[in-house]
Structure 1
Amino acid sequence: MKIKALVAVRSGSQRVQNKNVRPFAESSLLEIKLRQLLSIRSLDGVVVNSNDDKMLEAAARMGCETVKRDEYFASNSVSMSEVYKNMAENFDGDIVVYANVTNPLLRSLTIENAINTYMMRSEDYDSLNSAHLIKEFMFRDGKPINYDLGRQPRSQDLPDIYALNFALNIIERDRMIECKNVVGKSPLIWGIDEIEATDIDNPIDFEFAEYVYRTHREYQ
Structure 2
Amino acid sequence: MKKITAVVPIRKGSQRVVDKNLRPFAGSNLLAIKIENLKRVRGIDEIIVNTDSEHAIEIAQEMGVSFHRREDYYASSKCTGSEFFEHLGLVTDTDIFAYCPVTSPFIKIETMEAAISMFKEENEFDCLSTVSVIKEFMWLDGKAINYNPLNAPNSQNLPDIEALNFGFTLINKSDLIRYRNIIGKTPQFIRTTDIEAIDIDTPLDFFVAEQIYIKTIIEAKNLLG
TM-score class, shorter: over 0.9
Match of residue 50 from structure 1:
51
Residue 124 of structure 2 is aligned to residue 108 of structure 1 = no
Match of residue 183 from structure 2:
183
Q: 1:129: how far off?
A: 1.1
TM-superposition CA deviations, 1:85-140 (whole Å, max 9, x none): 1111110111111111001111111111111111111x100000111000000011
Aligned positions of 1:137-156 closer than 5 A? 137-156=137-156
Q: Any stretches of 5+ residues in structure 1 without a counterpart?
A: none
Q: 1:217: how far off?
A: 3.0
> Match of 2:42, as an amino acid?
R
Match of residue 65 from structure 1:
66
Match of residue 82 from structure 2:
81
Q: CA RMSD in A?
A: 1.3
Aligned positions of 1:158-197 closer than 5 A? 158-197=158-197
Q: 1:165: how far off?
A: 1.2
Match of residue 210 from structure 1:
210
Q: 1:4: how far off?
A: 1.3
Match of residue 6 from structure 2:
5
Between the two proteins, what is the percent identity of the paired residues?
41
> Match of 1:116, as an amino acid?
S
Q: Any stretches of 5+ residues in structure 2 without a counterpart?
A: none
**Distance in 2, Cα, partners of 1:118 & 1:211:** 33
TM-superposition CA deviations, 1:12-41 (whole Å, max 9, x none): 111111101100011000000001001112
What's the TM-score once normalised by structure 1's chain length? Answer: 0.96
| Number of residue equivalences | 219
